[in-house]
Homo-oligomer: A and B are copies of this chain.
Amino acid sequence: MTELTYRATGVDPTRAEKSLAQIRERIARTRTPEVIGDIGAFGGLFASPGADRVLVATTDGVGTKLEIARLLDRHEVVGTDLVHHCVNDAMAMGAEPLFFLDYFSTSRIDPAVFARVVGAMADACAAHGCALIGGETAEMPGMYHPGAYDVAGFLVGMVAREAILRPDSVSEGDVCIGLASSGLHTNGYTLARAIAARIAGEQGRDVKEALTTPHPELGGRTLGDALLVPHTSYLSQFRALRSSTHVRSIAHLTGGGWEGNLPRALPAGLGAVIDRGTWEVPAIFRVLAELGTVPEVDQWDTWNMGIGLVVIVPASDAPAALRVVPGAVAIGRVEATSGPRRVRWAA
Protein backbone atom coordinates (compact mmCIF):
# COMPACT_ATOMS: atom_id res chain seq x y z
CA MET A 1 0.00 0.00 0.00
CA THR A 2 1.30 3.47 -0.82
CA GLU A 3 2.71 5.31 2.15
CA LEU A 4 1.04 8.55 3.12
CA THR A 5 3.26 11.42 4.24
CA TYR A 6 2.39 14.93 5.25
CA ARG A 7 4.09 16.31 2.15
CA ALA A 8 2.10 13.92 -0.05
CA THR A 9 -1.11 15.46 1.31
CA GLY A 10 0.00 18.92 0.22
CA VAL A 11 1.35 20.33 3.47
CA ASP A 12 5.02 21.24 3.68
CA PRO A 13 5.88 22.55 7.14
CA THR A 14 9.14 24.03 5.82
CA ARG A 15 7.44 26.06 3.09
CA ALA A 16 6.27 28.73 5.53
CA GLU A 17 9.76 29.02 7.00
CA LYS A 18 11.34 29.34 3.57
CA SER A 19 8.83 32.00 2.61
CA LEU A 20 9.52 33.89 5.80
CA ALA A 21 13.27 33.75 5.20
CA GLN A 22 12.82 35.96 2.12
CA ILE A 23 11.48 38.85 4.18
CA ARG A 24 13.37 38.36 7.43
CA GLU A 25 15.29 41.62 6.96
CA ARG A 26 12.18 43.64 6.32
CA ILE A 27 10.63 42.17 9.46
CA ALA A 28 13.82 42.91 11.41
CA ARG A 29 13.50 46.58 10.43
CA THR A 30 10.21 46.78 12.37
CA ARG A 31 12.06 46.01 15.60
CA THR A 32 11.66 48.62 18.33
CA PRO A 33 13.60 48.89 21.62
CA GLU A 34 10.77 47.20 23.52
CA VAL A 35 11.05 43.96 21.55
CA ILE A 36 12.81 41.16 23.43
CA GLY A 37 14.32 38.14 21.71
CA ASP A 38 13.75 36.93 18.19
CA ILE A 39 10.89 35.89 16.01
CA GLY A 40 10.52 32.12 15.89
CA ALA A 41 9.89 31.61 19.59
CA PHE A 42 6.47 30.33 20.65
CA GLY A 43 5.38 33.90 21.37
CA GLY A 44 6.60 37.42 20.65
CA LEU A 45 7.99 39.32 23.64
CA PHE A 46 7.45 43.02 24.15
CA ALA A 47 8.31 45.08 27.24
CA SER A 48 5.07 46.16 28.84
CA PRO A 49 4.38 49.87 29.08
CA GLY A 50 3.87 51.20 32.60
CA ALA A 51 0.78 50.64 34.69
CA ASP A 52 -0.41 54.17 33.92
CA ARG A 53 -1.02 53.02 30.35
CA VAL A 54 -3.87 51.11 28.80
CA LEU A 55 -3.37 48.51 26.09
CA VAL A 56 -5.67 48.71 23.10
CA ALA A 57 -6.10 45.54 21.07
CA THR A 58 -7.76 45.21 17.70
CA THR A 59 -8.14 42.61 14.97
CA ASP A 60 -9.13 43.05 11.35
CA GLY A 61 -9.20 41.43 7.97
CA VAL A 62 -9.35 43.07 4.55
CA GLY A 63 -12.45 41.34 3.22
CA THR A 64 -12.90 40.50 -0.43
CA LYS A 65 -10.57 43.26 -1.56
CA LEU A 66 -8.28 40.22 -1.38
CA GLU A 67 -9.96 38.77 -4.43
CA ILE A 68 -9.44 41.88 -6.56
CA ALA A 69 -5.81 42.17 -5.44
CA ARG A 70 -5.28 38.55 -6.37
CA LEU A 71 -7.02 38.84 -9.71
CA LEU A 72 -4.86 41.82 -10.66
CA ASP A 73 -1.65 40.45 -9.09
CA ARG A 74 -1.40 43.35 -6.64
CA HIS A 75 -0.77 41.47 -3.42
CA GLU A 76 1.16 44.22 -1.63
CA VAL A 77 -1.93 46.33 -1.10
CA VAL A 78 -3.44 43.65 1.11
CA GLY A 79 -0.52 43.78 3.53
CA THR A 80 -0.54 47.57 3.69
CA ASP A 81 -4.32 47.65 4.15
CA LEU A 82 -4.27 45.23 7.02
CA VAL A 83 -1.78 47.27 9.04
CA HIS A 84 -3.42 50.61 8.28
CA HIS A 85 -6.87 49.30 9.18
CA CYS A 86 -5.60 48.06 12.55
CA VAL A 87 -3.61 51.25 13.22
CA ASN A 88 -6.74 53.35 12.62
CA ASP A 89 -8.92 51.17 14.83
CA ALA A 90 -6.50 51.39 17.75
CA MET A 91 -6.14 55.12 17.11
CA ALA A 92 -9.93 55.50 17.31
CA MET A 93 -9.48 54.67 21.01
CA GLY A 94 -6.64 57.21 21.24
CA ALA A 95 -3.79 54.71 20.97
CA GLU A 96 -0.37 54.68 19.35
CA PRO A 97 0.56 51.32 17.79
CA LEU A 98 3.06 49.10 19.63
CA PHE A 99 3.15 45.70 17.97
CA PHE A 100 1.44 43.62 15.30
CA LEU A 101 0.97 39.94 14.46
CA ASP A 102 -0.47 38.43 11.32
CA TYR A 103 -2.36 35.28 10.38
CA PHE A 104 -1.98 34.09 6.77
CA SER A 105 -4.06 31.14 5.67
CA THR A 106 -4.20 29.38 2.32
CA SER A 107 -4.46 25.96 0.75
CA ARG A 108 -0.89 25.93 -0.50
CA ILE A 109 1.62 28.64 0.28
CA ASP A 110 3.02 30.44 -2.76
CA PRO A 111 6.30 31.78 -1.32
CA ALA A 112 6.39 34.72 -3.73
CA VAL A 113 2.86 35.84 -2.89
CA PHE A 114 3.43 35.31 0.82
CA ALA A 115 6.59 37.43 0.70
CA ARG A 116 4.77 40.20 -1.13
CA VAL A 117 1.83 40.29 1.29
CA VAL A 118 3.74 39.90 4.55
CA GLY A 119 6.66 41.98 3.27
CA ALA A 120 4.22 44.85 2.67
CA MET A 121 2.84 44.35 6.19
CA ALA A 122 6.37 44.60 7.57
CA ASP A 123 7.04 47.80 5.63
CA ALA A 124 3.77 49.34 6.83
CA CYS A 125 4.61 48.34 10.41
CA ALA A 126 8.07 49.90 10.11
CA ALA A 127 6.55 53.11 8.77
CA HIS A 128 4.38 53.30 11.91
CA GLY A 129 7.05 52.40 14.46
CA CYS A 130 5.10 49.23 15.14
CA ALA A 131 6.98 45.97 15.72
CA LEU A 132 5.95 42.87 13.76
CA ILE A 133 6.57 40.30 16.50
CA GLY A 134 4.81 37.19 15.31
CA GLY A 135 2.56 35.48 12.88
CA GLU A 136 0.97 32.20 11.95
CA THR A 137 1.05 30.75 8.47
CA ALA A 138 -1.50 28.02 7.91
CA GLU A 139 -1.53 25.64 4.98
CA MET A 140 -4.96 24.04 4.71
CA PRO A 141 -5.38 21.99 1.53
CA GLY A 142 -8.93 22.04 0.24
CA MET A 143 -10.09 24.92 2.43
CA TYR A 144 -9.46 27.67 -0.10
CA HIS A 145 -9.80 27.87 -3.85
CA PRO A 146 -6.45 27.53 -5.66
CA GLY A 147 -4.47 30.74 -5.17
CA ALA A 148 -6.92 32.18 -2.65
CA TYR A 149 -5.75 33.19 0.79
CA ASP A 150 -7.04 35.03 3.81
CA VAL A 151 -5.21 37.33 6.18
CA ALA A 152 -5.99 38.69 9.62
CA GLY A 153 -4.05 41.25 11.58
CA PHE A 154 -3.78 41.80 15.32
CA LEU A 155 -2.46 45.01 16.71
CA VAL A 156 -1.80 46.15 20.25
CA GLY A 157 -1.33 49.83 20.94
CA MET A 158 -1.23 51.94 24.06
CA VAL A 159 -2.79 55.08 25.40
CA ALA A 160 -2.43 56.97 28.65
CA ARG A 161 -5.44 56.24 30.83
CA GLU A 162 -6.57 59.87 30.81
CA ALA A 163 -6.20 60.09 27.02
CA ILE A 164 -8.57 57.24 26.12
CA LEU A 165 -11.08 58.59 23.63
CA ARG A 166 -14.53 58.18 25.09
CA PRO A 167 -17.83 58.66 23.28
CA ASP A 168 -19.19 59.78 26.67
CA SER A 169 -17.11 62.95 26.42
CA VAL A 170 -18.98 64.11 23.31
CA SER A 171 -21.59 66.86 23.72
CA GLU A 172 -24.29 68.38 21.56
CA GLY A 173 -22.75 71.02 19.33
CA ASP A 174 -19.36 69.34 19.00
CA VAL A 175 -18.01 69.46 15.48
CA CYS A 176 -17.36 66.50 13.17
CA ILE A 177 -14.09 66.88 11.27
CA GLY A 178 -13.87 64.68 8.20
CA LEU A 179 -10.59 63.33 6.84
CA ALA A 180 -10.54 62.21 3.22
CA SER A 181 -10.38 58.53 2.34
CA SER A 182 -8.33 57.23 -0.56
CA GLY A 183 -11.23 55.16 -1.86
CA LEU A 184 -13.19 52.22 -0.46
CA HIS A 185 -10.33 51.38 1.95
CA THR A 186 -11.21 47.78 2.83
CA ASN A 187 -14.98 47.77 2.95
CA GLY A 188 -17.81 47.19 0.57
CA TYR A 189 -15.76 45.15 -1.90
CA THR A 190 -18.30 42.39 -2.26
CA LEU A 191 -20.70 44.99 -3.61
CA ALA A 192 -17.97 46.51 -5.80
CA ARG A 193 -17.10 43.06 -7.16
CA ALA A 194 -20.75 42.32 -7.92
CA ILE A 195 -20.90 45.56 -9.89
CA ALA A 196 -17.71 44.69 -11.79
CA ALA A 197 -19.14 41.25 -12.55
CA ARG A 198 -22.37 42.80 -13.82
CA ILE A 199 -20.70 45.27 -16.18
CA ALA A 200 -18.36 42.55 -17.39
CA GLY A 201 -21.39 40.38 -18.17
CA GLU A 202 -23.16 43.21 -19.97
CA GLN A 203 -20.10 43.94 -22.05
CA GLY A 204 -19.38 40.28 -22.75
CA ARG A 205 -15.95 40.59 -21.12
CA ASP A 206 -14.38 38.86 -18.16
CA VAL A 207 -14.12 40.62 -14.81
CA LYS A 208 -10.38 41.15 -15.13
CA GLU A 209 -10.87 42.96 -18.43
CA ALA A 210 -13.63 45.09 -16.93
CA LEU A 211 -11.31 46.01 -14.06
CA THR A 212 -8.35 46.88 -16.29
CA THR A 213 -10.05 49.06 -18.90
CA PRO A 214 -9.38 52.80 -18.50
CA HIS A 215 -12.55 54.55 -17.42
CA PRO A 216 -13.27 58.12 -18.59
CA GLU A 217 -15.19 59.06 -15.42
CA LEU A 218 -12.18 57.97 -13.36
CA GLY A 219 -9.95 60.37 -15.29
CA GLY A 220 -8.66 57.54 -17.42
CA ARG A 221 -7.79 55.30 -14.48
CA THR A 222 -9.09 51.77 -14.44
CA LEU A 223 -11.71 50.52 -11.99
CA GLY A 224 -9.11 48.07 -10.68
CA ASP A 225 -6.60 50.81 -9.94
CA ALA A 226 -9.24 52.87 -8.18
CA LEU A 227 -10.30 49.87 -6.11
CA LEU A 228 -6.77 48.92 -5.11
CA VAL A 229 -5.62 52.19 -3.57
CA PRO A 230 -4.37 51.32 -0.06
CA HIS A 231 -6.40 52.03 3.05
CA THR A 232 -5.25 55.41 4.41
CA SER A 233 -3.50 55.50 7.76
CA TYR A 234 -4.50 58.56 9.74
CA LEU A 235 -1.88 58.31 12.45
CA SER A 236 0.07 61.45 11.50
CA GLN A 237 -3.11 63.52 11.19
CA PHE A 238 -4.32 62.17 14.52
CA ARG A 239 -1.06 63.15 16.19
CA ALA A 240 -1.36 66.67 14.79
CA LEU A 241 -4.97 66.94 15.98
CA ARG A 242 -4.22 65.55 19.40
CA SER A 243 -1.45 68.06 19.98
CA SER A 244 -3.55 71.08 18.92
CA THR A 245 -7.13 70.26 19.90
CA HIS A 246 -9.19 68.32 22.41
CA VAL A 247 -10.06 65.25 20.40
CA ARG A 248 -13.26 63.88 22.01
CA SER A 249 -13.76 60.74 19.99
CA ILE A 250 -13.09 59.19 16.61
CA ALA A 251 -15.10 57.06 14.19
CA HIS A 252 -13.21 54.93 11.69
CA LEU A 253 -15.64 54.49 8.80
CA THR A 254 -15.30 50.82 7.86
CA GLY A 255 -17.82 47.97 7.48
CA GLY A 256 -21.34 49.35 7.81
CA GLY A 257 -20.46 52.75 6.39
CA TRP A 258 -21.69 55.90 8.10
CA GLU A 259 -24.60 54.60 10.13
CA GLY A 260 -22.58 51.54 11.13
CA ASN A 261 -19.66 53.51 12.51
CA LEU A 262 -20.27 57.16 13.32
CA PRO A 263 -22.71 56.33 16.19
CA ARG A 264 -19.98 54.17 17.77
CA ALA A 265 -18.16 57.44 18.55
CA LEU A 266 -21.21 59.02 20.17
CA PRO A 267 -22.98 58.53 23.51
CA ALA A 268 -26.55 57.25 23.66
CA GLY A 269 -29.08 59.94 22.79
CA LEU A 270 -26.77 61.82 20.47
CA GLY A 271 -26.45 61.63 16.73
CA ALA A 272 -24.77 63.69 14.04
CA VAL A 273 -26.08 65.91 11.29
CA ILE A 274 -23.75 65.75 8.32
CA ASP A 275 -23.69 68.17 5.41
CA ARG A 276 -22.74 66.12 2.40
CA GLY A 277 -22.15 69.25 0.41
CA THR A 278 -18.98 69.98 2.35
CA TRP A 279 -16.87 67.52 0.38
CA GLU A 280 -16.96 66.00 -3.06
CA VAL A 281 -17.74 62.29 -3.17
CA PRO A 282 -14.83 60.76 -5.12
CA ALA A 283 -15.49 59.52 -8.63
CA ILE A 284 -15.00 55.83 -7.75
CA PHE A 285 -18.10 55.89 -5.52
CA ARG A 286 -20.22 57.72 -8.10
CA VAL A 287 -19.10 55.36 -10.85
CA LEU A 288 -19.81 52.24 -8.79
CA ALA A 289 -23.20 53.55 -7.67
CA GLU A 290 -24.19 54.36 -11.22
CA LEU A 291 -22.94 51.13 -12.77
CA GLY A 292 -24.66 49.08 -10.07
CA THR A 293 -27.77 51.25 -9.68
CA VAL A 294 -27.04 51.18 -5.96
CA PRO A 295 -29.72 52.96 -3.87
CA GLU A 296 -28.36 55.98 -2.04
CA VAL A 297 -29.03 54.55 1.42
CA ASP A 298 -27.03 51.46 0.53
CA GLN A 299 -24.12 53.51 -0.74
CA TRP A 300 -23.83 55.37 2.56
CA ASP A 301 -24.49 52.28 4.69
CA THR A 302 -21.74 50.35 2.88
CA TRP A 303 -18.99 52.73 1.75
CA ASN A 304 -17.18 55.61 3.40
CA MET A 305 -18.08 57.85 0.42
CA GLY A 306 -14.84 59.81 0.60
CA ILE A 307 -14.41 60.32 4.35
CA GLY A 308 -12.37 57.63 6.10
CA LEU A 309 -12.21 59.09 9.58
CA VAL A 310 -14.47 61.40 11.54
CA VAL A 311 -12.83 63.21 14.45
CA ILE A 312 -15.10 64.90 16.95
CA VAL A 313 -13.81 68.06 18.61
CA PRO A 314 -15.38 70.89 20.65
CA ALA A 315 -16.73 73.61 18.36
CA SER A 316 -14.14 76.03 19.72
CA ASP A 317 -11.36 73.72 18.54
CA ALA A 318 -12.68 73.25 15.00
CA PRO A 319 -10.64 76.11 13.49
CA ALA A 320 -7.43 74.71 15.00
CA ALA A 321 -8.29 71.23 13.72
CA LEU A 322 -8.80 72.52 10.19
CA ARG A 323 -5.56 74.47 10.39
CA VAL A 324 -3.31 71.59 11.51
CA VAL A 325 -4.67 69.01 9.08
CA PRO A 326 -4.60 70.29 5.51
CA GLY A 327 -7.62 69.04 3.61
CA ALA A 328 -9.69 68.33 6.72
CA VAL A 329 -13.30 69.53 6.49
CA ALA A 330 -15.91 70.46 9.08
CA ILE A 331 -18.65 68.15 7.84
CA GLY A 332 -21.25 68.45 10.54
CA ARG A 333 -22.05 68.59 14.22
CA VAL A 334 -23.39 66.50 17.05
CA GLU A 335 -27.08 66.84 17.90
CA ALA A 336 -29.69 65.17 20.08
CA THR A 337 -31.49 62.33 18.39
CA SER A 338 -34.13 59.77 19.23
CA GLY A 339 -34.62 57.89 15.99
CA PRO A 340 -33.24 54.47 15.11
CA ARG A 341 -30.80 56.07 12.65
CA ARG A 342 -28.36 58.44 14.30
CA VAL A 343 -26.76 59.99 11.24
CA ARG A 344 -28.95 62.66 9.67
CA TRP A 345 -28.12 64.24 6.31
CA ALA A 346 -28.36 68.01 6.16
CA ALA A 347 -28.06 67.98 2.39
Binding site for B on A (CB under 8 A): 1-6, 8-11, 13, 36-37, 40-61, 63-64, 66-67, 89-90, 92-93, 95, 99, 101-103, 105, 133-136, 138-145, 148, 150, 152, 154, 156-158, 161, 164, 188, 190-191, 193-195, 198, 250, 252, 255-256, 260, 264, 292-295, 298, 301-302
A6 in contact with B188 (CB, 8 Å)? yes
Measured between C-beta atoms, what is the minimum distance from A320 to chain B in Å?
24
A43 in contact with B56 (CB, 8 Å)? yes
CA distance in complex: A42, B91 (Å): 9
CA distance in complex: A198, B4 (Å): 10
Question: Chain B residues near A42 (CB, 8 Å)?
Answer: 58, 89-90, 92-93, 250, 252, 264
Interface centre among A61, A66, A89, A135 (most CB of B within 10 A): A61
Question: Chain B residues near A49 (CB, 8 Å)?
Answer: 48, 51
CA distance in complex: A95, B134 (Å): 16
CA distance in complex: A13, B291 (Å): 22
Provided the pairs A5-B295, A5-B298, A152-B103 are in contact, do residues A134 and B57 lie with their beta carbons within 8 angstroms?
Answer: yes
Residue of B nearest to A103 (CB): B152
A57 in contact with B46 (CB, 8 Å)? yes
A295 in contact with B89 (CB, 8 Å)? no
Question: Chain B residues near A164 (CB, 8 Å)?
Answer: 36-37, 45
B48 in contact with A158 (CB, 8 Å)? yes
